[in-house]
Structures are given as C-alpha cells and as structure tokens.
Structure 1
Amino acid sequence: MTPLKKLITGSTLGLLIPLFAPSAGAATVLLETFEGGTNVFNLPTYNYTANYTLANGLASPGFKYAHGGNPAGGNAVTFQTTFNGPTYNLATLGYDGIAIDSGALTLSLAAQFSTYESQNDFAVVTVQYLDSLNAAIGTPLAIGGPAFVAALSGGTGSRGWGEASLSGIIPTGARSFSISITEGKTPQGAYIDGYVDNVSVSVVPEPSACLLGLAGTVGLLVRRQRRSA
C-alpha cells in the first residue's frame, strides 16, 4: 500500500476527523419550562389553571409559567427588574475559538409570552455575548417586550399567548454568553404580570463551513504526503 492510500484508507484519517471537525453539533443549551426543578431565573410562577390568561395553545405549554412578582414600587408605578440566568462558556459546550471566529455558529433564542388583561406588563428575554474577559461584545439578541404583548389577542379580557424567536451568528471574539429576563410593569396593579414560558437557547453550527474546513485540512495533508512520498 502506498503512503497516500494509507493516509486515505487507514486509521490515520479516522484520527484526523475528530481532531479538526467541530466537537459538538447542534445543541439545545437551555430549555426552561418553569415546571419545577432548577428554574434558572428564580422567577415566581403561576399555574395555568388560575385563568389569568387564555389557554396556551402553543407547543408544550405545561402547567406553569413565570411572572415578575410583586416589586417594591407597589401600585400605580412603572417598574422594571431583571432576573439573571446562567452564563454559558462556549468552549465548555464544545465550540472552540476557530469555529466561533469563522462565523460558523448561529445562536437561536425563543420564548412564549403573555400578559394580564389590558395591563400590557411584559417580559424581555435577552442573550448577551461576552468576550474572554467577560466584557459585553456584539449585539444582544432580545425578544418579547411591550409591543409584542400589546398585539396579543384578548384585549381587555384574558390575553392569549404568542411565541417570539430570533437567530443570529455568534460574533467574532465571543467566548461565552449570558441570558436574562427583564420584567416590566405598567402603572396598573401591584404585580409585574409579564408572563413568559418555554425559554429555549440553541447553538447551531453551519454544516457547510464545517465540511469545508475539514475538506481543506484533509487536502493539505494529502498534498504534504505526496511531497514526502
């Protein structure tokens, strides 16, 4: 067997693939359903059976959803507060700096939102990218907000649910990202009734970028092997 054939057909190539290919595929990083367990945002919850909203007809509504609680501001005030979730290190998730800085990774954010009757209290779910020194970098992804809930069905009666989603390429220099939920209160009522459920974050590699990188690496090693043969 020639050295070139050995490189292509032997165990050497089997070792090269995991070395140069991305170490992780598409992955759901977070799926917070507020059904119990961790509740990574430490948000208070309501049961759907309390009938503060219309039934959630979206996929997998579960039995509970989150809200902003009772802030110190009390009645007849506008108030916002932020609940911080976890920070995720991209290397720990299996994505190295080369994959990130080549623009080969997309982050997808989704959540379901509602509000109480005509109040239009709201929630905003935000992903913020961080560099190696944990400084903010790039443009955050943010979904939800007052305009989103104002457009939901129901008007002055119980309100329906809507799902918002947004995707974007993870920016060059990002090494981690944090996720938070900001709860906003309008002047009516004492509680922040920005309702949120089924928060999800996924990281999706670009397949063509991964394959091109692997093909280029294998091609370079084949050419080197031919020169040394």
Structure 2
Amino acid sequence: MPAADAPAGHGRLLAGTAWAVLFLGLWGWGRDITDGSGAGSAPTTGDIAAVGRPLGVLLPPPHEPIEGATPLRIEVPSIGVDAPVVARGLDEDGAIEPPSFDAPRVVGWYGAGAEPGAKGPALLVGHVDTETRPAVFYGLSAARPGVRVEVTRTDGTVAEFTVDDVQVLTRERFNADKAYGPRKKGRAELRLITCGGTYDRASRSYDANVVVSAYLTGERPKGNSGS
C-alpha cells in the first residue's frame, strides 16, 4: 500500500533494508552529488510506478541557481510538511544516515551534496512513519506536479521550488540515476525521499521508495510571503 495510505503502527522508521536499498549506490554517486554535476540523464518513468505529470499542468520556468546556503527548514503546505532540517552524512554501509529515531518529524539533508538553491540535486530524506504514528514524510506520495516546496536557508532567504515529478521506485528496479541524477543539467533541483510501496510485516520494511523531484522557481527574503 502507498506510504501515504499506510496505517500508523505498521512502519519502522525507514530502518534496515528499506532505508539501505534507498541509498544503494551512493558511494559511487558521492562525487557527482557533491559537485552537483550528476551523470544521469533525465529520468524516464516507463519501468517504474510513477505519478508523473498530470495532463494540463502548466509548470513555471526555472529560476537560475543561486548561491548555496545550508537549509534550516522545509515547508510543503499542500501535504502538511513544516519541519526542521539537519545535515546528515553517510554511514559505514554507504547509506545516508537518517534523522534520529527520536526525531521522526525532522528531515535529513545530505550535507556533502548540493545545497538547496545551488546547481544540482539537493537530497532531503525523511521517515514515513513510526511504530505508532505518521512521521514527517507520511504524505509525500500525495504530492503532485505543481506543488510548492519552500526551503528556509541560513543566509536569510527562502528558496522556492516546484514539484515536476513523483516516482515510486521499487527495490527490484532501483536506479541511482533516476533517484539522484539531475532531471535537467544546470538547474537547481531538490529530491524529497521516503519509503513507500507495500509494507512487509515479516521484514518490517517497505518494498519501494517515493522520490519527489522539484526544481528552483524563485527566491525571496525570509519573512516575505510567497506569491
């Protein structure tokens, strides 16, 4: 069942194999993510379950990349996300360290990678649920192209992104290019990632990952309302 529809109490904080499969291949991708260059072409959706872009959705033009700054907070009003962001690194297995098990409402940012607003895809990860309740990215699979994502940064600005694709990558067909690669080279992009698909009680893990892609469409000083 989709993560957004999974009942509270059936998750396990993206632990174990569910989290590990998501970041399989990050060791090989580390340099490309860090320098923002990326090696993959724009993802296709033929071999994955995907929401894609609904017909008739007009998306705004991209904004030129801006100077990078550390993210402090992320907001996705349409799906109820309003959460602090903390920097995370890679663990000994090459996976991004998830936010603390004691902080299921916190989002982790891969700090060695691109900063939100700068050129390249910035990676933000979060738990989908806990053993007792929904977590920060519980509703991520309900995001749709055209949705606004706002990232408050340490330089006092808010980087505004627009979602242009929503994918569900199964464990069997997982592809690092599609999860982490730039959809269009030269843009400032964002990836919001969590677990999804079907929850397996035996392994206490999900069998897929939800990957929401967005691109920079504006910036404003913190405190100014968005359009």
TM-score (norm. length: structure 2): 0.26
Larger Rg: 1
Between Structure 1 and Structure 2, which shows a larger proportion of helix residues? 1
TM-score, normalised on structure 1?
Answer: 0.26
